[in-house]
């Protein structure tokens, strides 16, 4: 597998990194975390630079990229620990809508790409399926939706939810997806402030009335599209974790060069150099398994769900290791609120526990016959 980036991918990566370094500082992040407000400038910049469309074919309004381009953006944004999760606000909805062959999906995709709508599907990861809500047609122009299950991420940025429901008609049920405004009557969102200060929510719908034109798609293709979007979201989350891990290593190496004991920079101590080497091995191991998951998902391999679950398991384990090493090598300063390393520790902990914990993904893998059998 070729891990080398082509010229366009390199330019994309470098442009996102420049934005992070110049515009999304740690102090900037702290201010938005304290206020609870969404960074509209960050969202608008993502739209203006075409990052929302980076992973889409030109026929879908994109720039001819794929999952790898989206994951590159997620990785570089991860260096800033953004409170606006790119994988949830851009990668998941665009992957879902671009997989649906309806005019409503295409129109909504256009609205997301130009920033007029910020929507996300309900996500739970590949290890389990969301509880599907139920919908019924109450008039020629309205549906009523009731149900709960799953989580939404980037809550304070959202204008709409993409809700999957079974349309009940007598004894039959048809899978469908609706666009539900975040302020709809009967939509109960239980806000959650995660350990990294980002916003999420559990949701419940109680007879939420939506117009018939909010019906985006129906049928069996919706199941495949939803599963694909879940895998893309997990890969994006893992890529974001890679960016955080890279930042932890960079900042730890910098600190070891400055911190002195016995009039010598502690970075010259061989035992600490070995620990940095172990951290770098962990990140390269994680990057390799993400590339495998991307390749298998892109080509539609039947085992892509296994590859994505493997990636989430290994990246989560390695993220916990790198984060812990970063804090320990900084010493007591790494635990302070004012220092950035402790915030990376929290953000990587969140990455490890959403969209399926390592243990959940391991159980998921064990459910496949002979997965742990050695020939």
What's the pLDDT tens digit per position in 223-258?
889 999 999 999 999 999 999 999 999 999 998 888
H/E element holding 281? helix 270-298
Do 96 and 204 fall into the same domain? no
In a domain, 372, yes or no: no
Choose the final residue of a domain: 184, 205, 220.
220
52 plus 148 within the same structural domain: no
pLDDT band at 6 (very low <50, low <70, confident <90, very high): confident
Q: What is the pLDDT of residues 294-350, one digit of tens each?
A: 999 988 888 899 999 999 999 999 999 999 999 998 888 888 888 899 999 999 999
**Do 315 and 286 form a contact (C-beta atoms < 8 A)?**
yes
Cα gap 332→357, rounded to integer Å: 28
User: Are 86 and 46 spatial neighbours (Cβ–Cβ below 8 Å)?
Assistant: yes
Taking residues 74-90, report their average pLDDT: 94
> Does the pLDDT value for residue 46 go beyond 70?
yes
The structure's pTM equals 0.93
Residues 183 and 113 in one domain: no
Percent of the chain whose predicted confidence (pLDDT) is above 70: 97
pLDDT for position 302: 81
CB 355 within 8 A of CB 150: no
Judge whether residue 375 has pLDDT over 70: no
**According to the model, what pLDDT value does residue 374 have?**
62
Residue 237's pLDDT is what? Answer: 96
The number of distinct structural domains making up the chain is 3
| Residue-level pLDDT at 353 | 93
Listed residues 191, 220, 249: the one ending a domain? 220
Q: How confident is the model at residue 127 (pLDDT cuts 50, 70, 90)?
A: low
The answer on 208 and 94 residing in a single domain is no
Query: What CATH number corresponds to the domain at position 107?
Result: 1.10.540.10
Nearest residue to 255 (alpha-carbon basis) of 334, 196, 322: 334
pLDDT, residue 75, reads 96
Are 148 and 185 part of one and the same domain? yes
Is residue 124 a part of any domain in this protein? no
The rounded distance, in Å, linking the Cα atoms of 115 and 108 is 11
CATH label of the domain that carries residue 252: 1.20.140.10
For all residues of the chain together, what is the average pLDDT?
89
Say if residue 79's pLDDT is above 90. yes
Determine, yes or no, domain membership for 1.
Answer: no
List the domain range (segments joined by +) for residue 191. Answer: 133-220
Range from 24-28, 133-137, 330-334 carrying the lowest mean pLDDT: 330-334
Same domain, 236 and 361: yes
Lowest mean pLDDT among 14-18, 103-107, 321-325, 364-368: 364-368
What is the percent of the chain where pLDDT is above 90? 58
Q: How far apart are CA 226 and CA 302, in angstroms?
A: 15
For residues 241 and 362, membership in a common domain is answered with: yes
CA distance 117 to 113: 8
By DSSP bridging, strand 215-218 and strand 199-211 are unpaired
Average pLDDT over residues 185-193: 91
**CA 242 to CA 78: how far, in whole Å?**
7
pLDDT class of 179 with cuts at 50, 70, 90 = very high
In the block, which residue shows the tokens 């895998």?
231
Q: C-alpha angle with apex 60: 55 to 64, nearest 5 degrees?
A: 45
123: which DSSP letter?
B
């Amino acid at each position: 597998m070729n891990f080398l980036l082509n010229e366009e991918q390199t330019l994309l990566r470098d442009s996102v990194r420049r934005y992070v370094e110049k515009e999304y500082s740690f102090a900037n992040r702290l201010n938005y975390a304290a206020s609870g407000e969404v960074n509209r400038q960050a969202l608008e910049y993502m739209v203006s630079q075409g990052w929302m469309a980076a992973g889409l074919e030109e026929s879908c309004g994109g720039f001819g990229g794929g999952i790898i381009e989206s994951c590159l953006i997620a990785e570089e944004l991860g260096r800033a620990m953004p409170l606006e999760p790119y994988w949830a606000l851009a990668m998941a909805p665009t992957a879902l809508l671009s997989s649906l062959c309806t005019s409503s999906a295409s129109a909504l995709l256009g609205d997301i790409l130009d920033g007029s709508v910020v929507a996300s599907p309900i996500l739970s990861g590949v290890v389990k399926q969301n509880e599907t809500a139920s919908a019924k047609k109450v008039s020629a122009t309205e549906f009523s939706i009731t149900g709960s299950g799953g989580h939404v991420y980037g809550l304070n940025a959202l204008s709409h939810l993409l809700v999957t429901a079974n349309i009940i008609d007598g004894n039959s049920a048809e899978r469908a997806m609706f666009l539900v405004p975040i302020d709809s009557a009967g939509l109960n969102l239980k806000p959650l402030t995660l350990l990294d200060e980002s916003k999420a929510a559990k949701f419940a719908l109680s007879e939420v009335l939506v117009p018939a034109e909010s019906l985006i798609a129906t049928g069996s293709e919706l199941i495949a599209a939803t599963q694909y979007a879940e895998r893309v979201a997990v890969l994006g989350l893992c890529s974001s974790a890679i960016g955080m891990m890279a930042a932890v290593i960079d900042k730890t190496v910098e600190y070891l060069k400055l911190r002195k004991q016995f009039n010598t920079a502690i970075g010259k101590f061989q035992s600490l150099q070995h620990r940095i080497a172990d951290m770098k091995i962990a990140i390269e191991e994680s990057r390799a398994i993400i590339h495998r998951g991307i390749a298998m998902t892109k080509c539609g391999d039947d085992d892509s769900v296994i590859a994505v679950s493997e990636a989430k398991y290994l990246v989560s384990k390695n993220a916990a290791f790198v984060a812990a090493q970063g804090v320990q090598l900084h010493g007591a300063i790494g635990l302070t609120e004012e220092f950035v390393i402790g915030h990376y520790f929290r953000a990587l902990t969140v990455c490890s526990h959403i969209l399926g914990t390592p243990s959940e993904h391991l159980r998921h893998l064990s459910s496949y016959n002979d997965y742990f059998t050695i020939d």
